[in-house]
Amino acid sequence: MEENKKHIRIGLLGFGSMGRTHTWAVKNLPFFYGAPPFSAITAGIVTTSFEKSQRVAEQFGIERAYTSEDELINDPSIDVIDICTPNCHHFETLKKAIVAGKHVLCEKPLCTTPREAELIAAIPRREGQITGMVFNNRWMAPVLRAKQLIDEGRIGRVLTFCGAYLHSSATDTARRAGWKQDRTVCGGGVLFDLGSHIIDLLGYLVGPMCEVSGMSQIAYPVRTGRNGDAWETNADESFYLMGRTADGACGTVTVGKLQVGANDDLSFEIYGEKGALRFSLMEPNWLYFYDNTRPDAPIGGERGFVRLECIGRYPDLVFPSVKAPAGWLYGHLASMHAFLSAVSSGKEFFPSLSDGLYVQRVMDAAYRSDENNGMRTEVTPC
């Protein structure tokens, strides 16, 4: 290998669905991106037990299973700490990893409270230390194209927007509640789990919200708990939010796990003075664009939503063909590539922990609004 190529060793905390996804992304970067100016491996793993960590390490080709996160974080051979643990563990882990000088990639949400998130965002970084959030939906090709069109002024001043992230998992009352449905572990309900993604995405595209009002919903007050017994639901199963940006754009956010027929239905619509954009994760190859500057005519002229083929047209991607259909994993792959490229080059990475702090503050304001019968509530600016 080239002598000047940076070798990045990643320590992974947690191996649920996200830990597995991140491991896949790291292993597959050379296939998709050819010869980036770095090489990366998942070199260490810590899970809920040393025995499980050993099994995961053996099965997925990870060099070493560690007995604790402290042992992993304090290993000088580990460059990056990749946090894929439940939300309630993020704060302490982030503190230790940042102070130890490690590069840090953290799954959403940043923490469980705005105060914790503020403390994390305020910890001084060493020169060249890269920290960031996994808001992987920013990295879908149609989202990148939407951002480009907005930044070019193609839709003009944004007037209104709506976003949604819908699942159907809470409609199965026989299914045991997981930690993401337990507010004592997650810090919130579906607003934390799915809402954090769409709040970040809309903030990225149309700008941060400065005030919100919110309403939560629990459709099944009692369901089966993790131990199989009846359990009193303590976290929102759906959440409905209205918001306004500092530029005056108004819109709605709907997130929920009560939507029968939904799979991983993330979508947004953005309407401006000169045009509009629509996207659905269920159609990950396409962005719909309406150009209001096109000529009109009695039978339609040239106006109408145009389907732009985004498919696999990612910057720097060499495999597969740019015409190969995209999928959910592409966002995680591109996110990991961008983060490790930042680690390699020393350039700042976005979405940052400050972006995570913004999302935390929006969610907190939405919950406070819900507790006050939907009263408009100001979002503390970052």
- For the stretch 291-330, pLDDT in tens is 999 999 988 889 999 999 998 888 887 777 776 778 889 9
Q: Quick one: pLDDT at residue 3?
A: 57
Return the C-alpha torsion angle 23, 29, 30, 36, nearest 10: -130
pLDDT at 357 over 90: yes
Query: Using 50, 70 and 90 to split pLDDT, how confident is the model at 242?
Result: very high
147 SS3 class = helix
Burial 214-238 (b: 16+ CB within 10 A, else e): bebebeeeebbbeeeeebebebbbb
- For the stretch 264-283, pLDDT in tens is 999 999 999 999 999 999 99
Question: Which token pair is 37?
Answer: 């100016």
Q: Are strands 209-217 and 377-378 parallel, antiparallel or unpaired?
A: antiparallel
pLDDT at 1 over 70: no
Rounded to whole angstroms, the Cα distance separating 299 from 70 reads 68
- For the stretch 55-106, pLDDT in tens is 999 999 999 999 999 999 999 999 999 999 999 999 999 999 999 999 999 9
Judge whether 224 and 174 are in contact, CB under 8 Å.
yes
pLDDT at 9 over 90: yes
Question: Which token pair is 76?
Answer: 């000088």
